């Protein structure tokens, strides 16, 4: 019994003191960083959380979604009328399209004059005299040829300007510029922001 008592009295009291010292050393070690206090989320959970964050921004019902679309259409319409590039639809904000519009608006196009020729042709077709109808037909044919030639020249010029400024662009501007050139200046949307007196872009 005495042996057991001596052996028990020689042992240290708590067995957890070395563990506390090790933990204190780990915390006090400046080379170790403290944990973030939460487990790292899995990839699927992170994707699901992102999906929920996106879906929460959507309208609650169809009526609200319709109202949002109507408001957006009104804003786009106002921007088209005012010519504010920063508020235009994303497609119309493309720098290639802005350049094409400015180039068309800064030149004299055959398209608006062709509309007058078309009116003359329509009125001439109602006249009983054959010479008037013939003159209206000839004027109409000449107007068509002039529009075709002017559209080809305009398309080449616009595409060349776009290729010079934006060599890696894939935006098609030839048909866009030709269609805009057919309309009178006051009918064009977005509204022209340059005048014919300004130098071509």
Range of the domain at 176: 93-187
37's torsion region: left (phi>0), alpha (psi -120 to 50) or beta?
left
- The pair of structure tokens assigned to 33 is 């960083």
pTM confidence score: 0.65
Question: Residue 42 has what pLDDT?
Answer: 65
Please say whether the dihedral angle defined by the alpha carbons of residues 132, 133, 138 and 141, taken in this order, is positive or negative: positive
Instruction: Look at residue 169 and tell me if it is in a domain.
Output: yes
Question: Residue 39 has what pLDDT?
Answer: 61
Instruction: Look at residue 9 and tell me if it is in a domain.
Output: no
What is the distance between the terminal CA atoms of the chain, rounded to a whole angstrom?
108
Instruction: Look at residue 31 and tell me if it is in a domain.
Output: no
Instruction: Look at residue 42 and tell me if it is in a domain.
Output: no
Q: Is 179 helix (H, G, I), strand (E, B) or coil?
A: helix
Domains held by the chain: number: 1
Q: What are phi and psi of 197, to 5 degrees?
A: -75, -20
Please say whether the dihedral angle defined by the alpha carbons of residues 73, 74, 80 and 85, taken in this order, is positive or negative: negative
pLDDT in tens, 139-194: 999 999 999 999 999 999 999 999 999 999 999 999 999 999 999 999 999 999 99
């Amino acid at each position: 019994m005495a042996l057991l008592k001596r052996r028990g009295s020689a042992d240290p009291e708590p067995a957890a003191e070395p563990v506390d010292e090790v933990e204190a050393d780990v915390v006090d070690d400046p080379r170790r960083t403290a944990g973030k206090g939460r487990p790292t989320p899995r990839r699927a959970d992170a994707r699901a959380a992102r999906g929920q964050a996106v879906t929460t921004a959507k309208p609650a019902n169809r009526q609200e979604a319709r109202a949002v679309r109507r408001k957006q259409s009104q804003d786009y319409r106002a921007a088209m009328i005012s010519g504010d590039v920063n508020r235009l639809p994303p497609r119309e904000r493309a720098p290639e399209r802005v350049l094409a519009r400015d180039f068309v608006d800064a030149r004299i196009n055959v398209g608006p004059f062709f509309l007058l020729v078309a009116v003359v042709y329509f009125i001439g077709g109602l006249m009983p005299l054959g010479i008037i109808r013939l003159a209206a037909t000839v004027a109409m044919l000449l107007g068509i040829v002039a529009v075709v030639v002017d559209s080809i020249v305009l398309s080449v010029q616009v595409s060349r300007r776009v290729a010079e400024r934006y060599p890696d662009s894939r935006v098609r501007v030839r048909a866009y510029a030709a269609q805009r050139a057919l309309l009178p200046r006051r009918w064009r949307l977005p509204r022209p922001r340059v005048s014919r007196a300004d130098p071509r872009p």
